[in-house]
Amino acid sequence: MLEASPWNAERAQEIVTKHAGLEGPMLPILHALQEEFGHVGESAVPLIASALNLSRAEVHGVVSFYHDFRHEPAGRRVLKLCRGEACQSMGSEALAQSLLGRLGVEWGGTTRDGELTVEPVYCLGLCASSPSALLDGEPLARLTAATLAEAIDEARGL
C-alpha cells in the first residue's frame, strides 16, 4: 500500500484550490485529498466549504455519504470485506462479525497496533468466488473463517 502523507493544511488547501474550478468539484477534491493523506479528516471540511461556498454541514454530509472516504488515517494494511448480496448469501456476515470481534474493531476501525483497517465494500465483482475480500488490493476468494484469519495474521506479521 502506498504511504499517505501526514496531514498538512497548506498542501490540502493547494489540492482544494486546484480542483475547485472543475465542474462538480466536490468528489475530485475528496478523492485527491484521500489519495494524498489517506483520509478526509474533519480539518478538510472547512477548507472545502469555503472554496465551494457551501456550509460545513453540506460538505460533511457528502463525506459521510460515501463509504470510500476514510475519516481517519488507515492502518498499515487495509482489508475490504464484501457485504454484497452474493457474499452475504455465502456467510460473509458471520465471517465479518467473528473477525471484527477477534480484532476488537468496528467496521471502518483500525486495530490498536495500527496494523489493519477493516472496511466494508458492497460487491467486488468476485461474486462467483464469494465470500470475498481485498487485502491491500489483492483478492481473497472463497473465504472461510480459517483462511481469512490466516491471511490476516500473515499480513500483520503474526
Which residues sit at the interface with ligand FES, rule CB under 6 A?
A: 82, 84-87, 123-124, 126-127, 130, 132
Cβ nearer to ligand FES, comparing 71 with 142: 142
* Residue in the structure block whose three cell numbers are 500473515: 154
Contacts of residue 27, defined as CB under 8 A and 6 or more positions apart, other chains included, come to 62, 66
Q: In angstroms, what is the minimal distance from the CB of 9 to ligand FES? A: 38
Q: In angstroms, what is the minimal distance from the CB of 81 to ligand FES? A: 9
Rounded-to-integer distance, Cα 6 and Cα 38, Å: 8
Q: In angstroms, what is the minimal distance from the CB of 142 to ligand FES? A: 11
* Residue in the structure block whose three cell numbers are 473463517: 145
Cell of 11: 498542501
Cβ nearer to ligand FES, comparing 34 with 132: 132
One-letter amino acid of 51:
A
Q: In angstroms, what is the minimal distance from the CB of 78 to ligand FES? A: 17
Cβ nearer to ligand FES, comparing 74 with 133: 133
Q: How many beta carbons lie within 10 A of that of residue 125, not counting itself?
A: 10
Angle, to 10 degrees, between the axis of helix 9-20 and the axis of helix 44-52? Answer: 30
Minimal CB distance to ligand FES: which residue?
84
Cβ nearer to ligand FES, comparing 73 with 120: 120
Q: In angstroms, what is the minimal distance from the CB of 137 to ligand FES? A: 15
Cβ nearer to ligand FES, comparing 27 with 127: 127
Spell out the alpha helix ranges (H) of 1-158.
9-20, 26-37, 44-52, 56-65, 85-89, 92-103, 145-155
